[in-house]
Chain A
Amino acid sequence: MGRLFLFRSILGRCHRGFPDVHTSQTAVTLVVASGRERVRIELELKMIFNFIFGRHKKEHRQADALADLRVGESAIVSALVLSPPVAEHLMNLGIVPGLKVTVARSGPGGGPRVYRVEGTEIAMRRDVSRHIHVELLGAPAFGD
């Protein structure tokens, strides 16, 4: 709500101060002139929509760490940036570079989350999963 208001007030002020507002079916173009400079601001409608409704979902989200995945998402482990004993322990459990890990579920509160790798379920805290680098696979693959 607050963001909507802010956006409207900016837009409103633009209308009054700077009359150069062009709208098309997909975008709004503001031409802002102050002194000698003229700046064109192009706002895609999709962007405005996302701005208002808070949809910050990026198309190509770069999840670097296991901790950044959402429940149900899968990724390929790329590296374990942890102390050798901890990394070794994780690899023995199956968190091995090259294997697919799925976020099975999140525990209550900010507690440990459960990850699934090759049928083994492993619970770990964020302070560990933050240091496990992954490459995102995106939506569950077909037939998964």
Chain B
Amino acid sequence: MSASAVSCHAAARPSVDALGTAYRTIAVVGPPNSGKTTLFNRLTRLRQKVGNFPGVTVEHHTGYVRDAQGQEIALIDLPGVYSLSPKSEDEKVAVDVLTGQMPGTPRPDAIILVLNSTNLHSHLVLAARVIALGTPTLVLLNMADELHKQGGHVDVLPLARQLGTPVALVSATTGEGLVAVQNFLNSAVARPEPLELPVVGSTRGYREWAVRVGENAKYRRPATPVWTERLDSVFLHHVWGPVIFALVVVGIFQMIFAVGQAPSNAIQRFLDIIGGRVGTYLPQGVVSSLIINGVLKGVGSVLVFLPQILLLFLVIGILEDSGYLSRAAVIADRTMSRVGLNGKSFIPLLSAYACAVPAIMATRTIESKRDRIATILIAPFMTCSARLPVYTMVIAAFLPNRPLLGPFLGTRAAAMLGLYVLGFLMAVLTARVLKSTILKSKDAPFILEMPPYRWPTISGLGLRLVDRGKAFVYRAGTVIMLVTLMLWAATNFPLHHGQPPEVQNSVVAKLGHTIEPVIRPLGFDWKIGVGLVTSIAAREVIIATLGTLHGLDPESQATDLQAALRHELTPAAAVALLVFFAFAMQCMSTIAVVRRETNGWQWPALQFGYMTVVAYIAAFAAYNIAGRFVR
């Protein structure tokens, strides 16, 4: 049998070589948090979001690698699966792709199975199931560096013999052993021989088989990392755990203000210089007005917030990559369960602090459909990074920065923290209402794997920052630019004797004055009203809008945006504006992603309506209450 297999293999070789590589599509599969995405990124030099907690990849992504002949091979990065009986949406994606049922994705010709070598026994169970599909498979035992450091051991050859597939011990982080992948890509391997799997298809049977296979490969499990134990004894401590959790959250906000301000000012100065240059070189007229007032004042006023956004993503990235986020989920579970949500909802909700769009996609890891909808519906209440520019500007315009708790917490950071808490409380309240009415369900069980702590790598964090920075600048250059240009056009028409009209007579002003009666009770004038309308595209657009409107208004042209805001809004109206932004769902991308994830318009429509009503009522209340205290 084995002799015939070898000869068959040898005979097959030349024909394969003649054809080039047999593989066109290769799927990367593995259990959650086994390092598939890190491997994928390393192989394709594409940047996917990687994090040190289970369930980061919820969609499949495709990247391309080249084999020795220079042929392109599509590499599909799949969400982590523990088994091939899909339970949650993200696992279903993986299984559908593997079995060729995913529309638009061909059935993969080969599979790269990434297992965590520090936890071989439970991961071999998945290997048995994947290899049983009969697709040529390369088994990668990832995290070899961790395995060796902690005294673990495994022999690759006996394992390969037992599994009937090539096996390699690799480290996606250090790049160790990845030559095996290139070899696999370059030489088509015969289909795996049918595995002698346990007859009983029970997980227990598989597990016993896995232990036997592991024993034959002289597998020795590494010791639990000492530092993970030590850190957990602090981070999950009865008293220190929650205290550190709170400190981490407060620290993030303080840092965004304290560290982010200087580079932000630098960008502002840079843009001012450009504006000045353009003003001197270009003749006064429509073009100069378009560039200075339309583009620079509009888009520039948003770009200024790039440092703050990057800082936020840096901190969230460190929390994710280090593994602290899973611990935070444990700490938060008790609070979350009081609301009727699961600690697992906490991770999507926490990433909603960066942006609601990935957060809503991350809800795919929640098995309970109703819990998932509930989490989707409350995610946009979490203060996303697009609110950050609005908050920062309004707070900076109205609130002098004074130390509140020594150097640790200033008034501005405290106000910001308050707004974050406000959004969170509304999310909690909404969850409560939803869970006790239309989305009533049994408590989903909280079961979460705790990854060991790892050092976040500079390259991992750096790549993500570059990605997020690009996305932000891209948005400023597209959506925000477009809205700004339209706005500029609307303020410069109708032409009056060939000259642009006074701002008060422009199309925009007409629009603004039309909606003014609606927003008057909140203390907003027509300019803010225009901002509210344009910010339905994206929250930060309001700043660009106000930048353009003030840039065109001779009254406020010379002053900076903050001073213009003080001129525009009473302090009470500023509070109302902040509250409105805390609650309103002003984001096209979020609406689109909710529609996609819930397969219909009813949930996003309900959500948009509900959030707008809440925002309006809350802003009205805030305006009237704040009006009594501040003048």
Contacts and interface: CB of A to CB of B under 8 A. Distances in A.
A120 B121 CA distance: 10
Contact of A128 (B87, B119, B447): B447
Interface stretch (B164-172, B186-194, B327-335): B327-335
Contacts, number: 120
A118 B31 CA distance: 16
Contacts of B330: 107, 111-112, 114, 123
Highest count of chain B CB atoms <10 Å: which of A89, A107, A118 = A107
A94 interface: yes
Contacts of B85: 88
Nearest to A110: B334
Contacts of B450: 114, 121-123
Interface stretch (B10-18, B229-237, B277-285, B408-416): B229-237
A23 B62 CA distance: 83
Given A93-B122, A107-B331, A108-B237, A119 B87 contact: no
A98 B204 contact: yes
A97 B367 CA distance: 23
A23 B292 CA distance: 102
B337 A125 contact: yes
Contact of B446 (A88, A91, A106, A112): A112
Given A107-B330, A111-B330, A111-B334, A92 B83 contact: yes
Nearest to B233: A105
A21 B55 CA distance: 69
A89 B55 CA distance: 14
Given A85-B87, A110-B334, A91 B445 contact: no
A60 B242 CA distance: 36
A96 B337 CA distance: 26
- Select the residue from B445, B448, B452 with max chain A CB neighbours within 10 A: B445
Nearest to B228: A121
A92 B446 CA distance: 15
A123 B334 contact: no
A89 B368 CA distance: 13
Interface string B330-371: 110110010000010000000000000000000000010000
A93 B82 contact: yes
A109 B203 contact: no
A88 to B, nearest CB: 7
Contact of A111 (B121, B333, B367, B445): B333
A88 B331 contact: no
A98 B82 CA distance: 19
Contact of A88 (B31, B83, B119, B236): B83
Contacts of B237: 108
Contact of B334 (A82, A94, A108, A124): A108
B82 A119 contact: no
A137 interface: no
A96 B204 contact: yes
A121 B241 CA distance: 17
Interface in B90-142: 118-119, 121-122, 125-126
A124 B233 CA distance: 17
B87 A88 contact: yes
Interface in A100-144: 104-112, 114, 116, 118-125, 127-128
A112 B221 contact: no
Contact of B125 (A92, A99, A125): A92
Interface in B319-333: 326, 329-331, 333
B119 A120 contact: yes
Contacts of A112: 330, 333, 343, 446, 448
Nearest to B207: A96
Contacts of B63: none
A70 to B, nearest CB: 15
Nearest to A77: B204
A129 to B, nearest CB: 10
Given A92-B82, A114-B236, A120 B449 contact: yes
Contact of B445 (A108, A120, A124): A124
A11 interface: no
B445 A92 contact: no
Contacts of B443: 127
B224 interface: yes
A92 B119 contact: no
B222 interface: yes
Nearest to A82: B445
Given A111-B331, A114-B330, A124 B446 contact: yes
A28 interface: no
Contact of A122 (B204, B232, B331, B448): B448
Contact of B232 (A96, A111, A114): A114
Contact of B207 (A88, A91, A121): A91
Contacts of A98: 204, 207-208
B446 A118 contact: no
Contacts of A33: none
Given A89-B82, A92-B82, A92-B122, A128 B241 contact: no
B238 interface: yes
Contacts of A96: 203-204, 207
A97 B206 CA distance: 12
Contacts of A122: 447-450
A126 to B, nearest CB: 10
B83 A105 contact: no
Contacts of B232: 104-105, 114
A14 interface: no
Contact of B447 (A89, A109, A116): A89
Given A86-B447, A107-B236, A114-B236, 20 more contacts: A91-B203, A91-B207, A92-B203, A93-B122, A106-B238, A107-B330, A108-B242, A108-B334, A109-B334, A110-B334, A114-B330, A119-B224, A120-B119, A121-B224, A122-B447, A123-B326, A123-B329, A123-B333, A125-B333, A128-B447
Q: 7 closest pairs, A vs B, by CB?
A: A92-B82, A121-B450, A91-B203, A111-B334, A125-B446, A94-B122, A128-B445
28 contacts: A89-B87, A89-B367, A90-B447, A91-B203, A92-B203, A105-B232, A107-B330, A107-B334, A108-B237, A108-B239, A108-B241, A108-B334, A111-B333, A112-B330, A112-B446, A114-B450, A118-B121, A119-B222, A119-B224, A120-B119, A120-B122, A121-B450, A121-B452, A122-B450, A123-B448, A125-B333, A127-B443, A128-B447
